[in-house]
Structure 1
Amino acid sequence: MSPSTETLTAERILEATEEVLRRHGPAKATVVDVARALGVSHGSVYRHFRTKAALREAVTKRWLDRTCATLADITAGDRDPGERLRDWLAALFAAKRRKAGEDPELFATYLVLAGENGTAVGEHVAELTGQLARIIEDGVAAGVFHAPDPAAAARAVFHATGRFHDPCYAREWEEPGVEADFAAVADLVLRGLRA
């Protein structure tokens, strides 16, 4: 039985869009393909997402939000800020590696979509640096870190660790020694923040 427009949700459309993108890639995937996968007309999809660009932006945002949600639990923890910062950086690295390794088709698609959707990527980076800033603020309050401007420190930490989360480095994430390189950078960042 085909789903009706009454049961069609934005979430179902986004799930179907991810599958269509995996199968066809971003260059060939169309709204008609998504509608066909759902058993509805393309007009039904457009009722939820006004344009193909809006649909692609929503898929990009959904994909990125999964990483932010994973890291939010670490951010909100009450453990030592240094441990939380190290765990947060390690979790970000692990999440990005997992996405690149376990779902290479969607990861490749994400690289294309991210280039098109500066808003979603910008919001993602802002969310990530905001989480880092909260950890650093906690460290300053606890007397563990010294950072006169935690937001600036968070941006610096984010950029300093870019090799371990920026998708342009994905090919390097499986190279021998990358874990040791990550540990060395994390140690350096933590030493730099210590009060």
Structure 2
Amino acid sequence: MAPTTETLTAERILEATEEVLRRHGPAKATVVDVARALGVSHGSVYRHFRTKAALREAVTKRWLDRTSERLAGIAAGDAAAEDRLRAWLAALFEAKRHKAGDDPELFATYTVLTDENGEAVGEHVTDLTAQLARIIEAGAGSGAFTAPDPTAAARAVFQATGRFHDPCYAREWQQPGIRTEFEAVVELLVRGLKA
């Protein structure tokens, strides 16, 4: 193993882990493979992530956080609530479609990892519904939406749009007409929220 010249950071380990998972899949990828890709001992990886499970959870969280961060910018924007809601839902759908369509091997790997890491997925869903609640609350505050309980409304919107972001529906995301179906659901939800 050649010594590495770069400082070993958690971020570098996560990047290498992603690549190893893409190459070998979740069943065959090991911490030794990650260490080899980085040119370090597996003990060096374990200094950052105490177990293989912790490393896999961190990779899962990193993947989910990328989507959350992108959407947070839309949720915090200053556009009208209706426009933000439409943009947020469209961005979530597009992010999931691209992950599934652009890199199917890695998407399949993350599907396995998210099944293993229910806590990370739960935190992700909580974060996303909180973003939706902020948008709906802003709409209620401006009079654009009628939502006595923005948090409950956000959960309902998230669940109602599940077909367009839940990985179990990934095979449907490339079908002809899926965008029209998505837009029809969003239109129905927006009409339901309007004052």
TM-score, with structure 2 as normaliser: 0.98
Q: What is aligned with 2:22?
A: 22
Query: 1:136-175 to 2 correspondence within 5 Å?
Result: 136-175=136-175
**Can you give the 5+ residue segments of structure 2 that lack an aligned partner in the other structure?**
none
Q: What is aligned with 2:128?
A: 128
CA–CA separation in structure 2 for the residues paired with 1:160 and 1:140: 19
Q: What is aligned with 2:96?
A: 96
Tell me if 1:109 matches 2:109: yes
**Can you give the 5+ residue segments of structure 1 that lack an aligned partner in the other structure?**
none
Q: SS at 1:26's partner residue?
A: coil
CA–CA separation in structure 1 for the residues paired with 2:3 and 2:110: 29
Tell me if 1:118 matches 2:134: no
CA–CA separation in structure 2 for the residues paired with 1:89 and 1:115: 23
Q: What is aligned with 1:80?
A: 80
State the Cα RMSD in Å.
Answer: 0.9
Q: What is aligned with 2:59?
A: 59
TM-score, with structure 1 as normaliser: 0.98
Tell me if 1:3 matches 2:4: yes
Q: SS at 2:13's partner residue?
A: helix
Matched to 1:100, the amino acid is A
Q: Quick one: percent identity of the two aligned structures?
A: 77
How many residues were matched structurally? 194
CA–CA separation in structure 1 for the residues paired with 2:32 and 2:191: 53
What whole-Å deviation, never above 9, does each CA across 1:26-59 have from its counterpart, x for those lacking one?
0000000000000000000000000000000000
Shift of 1:3: 1.5
